[in-house]
Amino acid sequence: MSEETFTAWACKSKSAPLEPMEMTFCHWDDDMVQMDVICCGVCGTDLHTVDEGWGPTEFPCVVGHEIIGNVTKVGKNVTRIKVGDRCGVGCQSASCGKCDFCKKGMENLCSTHAVWTFNDRYDNATKDKTYGGFAKKWRGNQDFVVHVPMDFSPEVAASFLCGGVTTYAPLKRYGVGKGSKVVSGVSVTLVSNGPRLWVPKLLLSMLSLTRSMMPRSSAVMTTFSCKRKSRWNHTTTHLLTSLPPRLSTSVGTNTSRC
């Protein structure tokens, strides 16, 4: 195997089982970081991608966007990450870096091209394909690589790179802290259960809404409300329309089962 290839567990066609394949890395540049992958979480997005549930997939595809690894190589422009560091990568691997959103640190809203960690292509001269973390190695732009403490279990850390940060980001953005009240839908998905990661640490009170009593034993809450399906849409609609304008425009709900 050459230095510019790596072994991955790839999907060759729609809904096909994963199988080992030798893939070609994206071209190296001075802003790149390369890692030996320790572990990678499994997300619903991975399943939707191999099943083409969210549109066409460019096969062969290597999914996985909750990636934890040990850094083995860095470009000469990389100063905050060094060889030997433990790092993580989520669902995005690049952006234009020039638009207003990118300049404000909101790269996920890049108005030119938010490059996803898999089933996408970089905006370099060769339009290299992106590959995810179901692989032995990963390579990508330093700006989307985060440090992970060595004493933090890699398997647990991986879950923070998708569902975990999805639920933490709005709490951080809106200044939620001790004494705040949080409303959360409860289901068996990590995104819905994500607030459980933060509520005890931030000393919050949480109202949890669900259509089923099943998750109740695992939910962290002050108040629990179980609604039958016939009442669910009415309840969530009323809840969202009662929020302050600055919050209601940024909150969404999914009333279907995952």
The 10s digit of each residue's pLDDT in 76-105 is: 999 999 999 999 999 999 999 999 999 999
d(CA 159, CA 144): 16
Q: Are 61 and 119 in contact (CB under 8 A)?
A: yes
Choice between 92 and 203, residue whose per-residue pLDDT is larger? 92
More confident position, 132 or 250: 132
Nearest CA to 62 out of 4, 90, 20 is that of 20
pLDDT higher than 60, residue 133: yes
pLDDT average, residue stretch 18-28: 95
Instruction: Tell me the mean pLDDT in the region 131-150.
Output: 96
At 43 the pLDDT is 87
**Domains with residue ranges and CATH for the chain:** 5-155 (3.90.180.10), 174-248 (3.40.50)
Alpha helical stretches, state H, 135-228: 154-159, 165-173, 190-193, 195-202
- Pairwise CA distance, residues 113 & 63, whole Å: 19
How much is the average pLDDT of 239-257? 37
Tell me the percentage of the chain whose pLDDT exceeds 90.
Answer: 55
pLDDT given for residue 199 in this prediction: 60
Give, in order, the Cα–Cα distances in Å from 120 to each of 26, 37, 91, 128, 148: 12, 20, 11, 9, 25
Confidence (pLDDT) at 167: 76
Question: Average model confidence (pLDDT) for the chain?
Answer: 79
> How confident is the model over 178-192, as a mean pLDDT?
56
In this prediction, residue 178 has a pLDDT band, given cuts at 50, 70 and 90, of confident
Query: Does residue 149 carry a pLDDT above 70?
Result: yes
Look at strands 181-185 and 205-210 and give their pairing: parallel
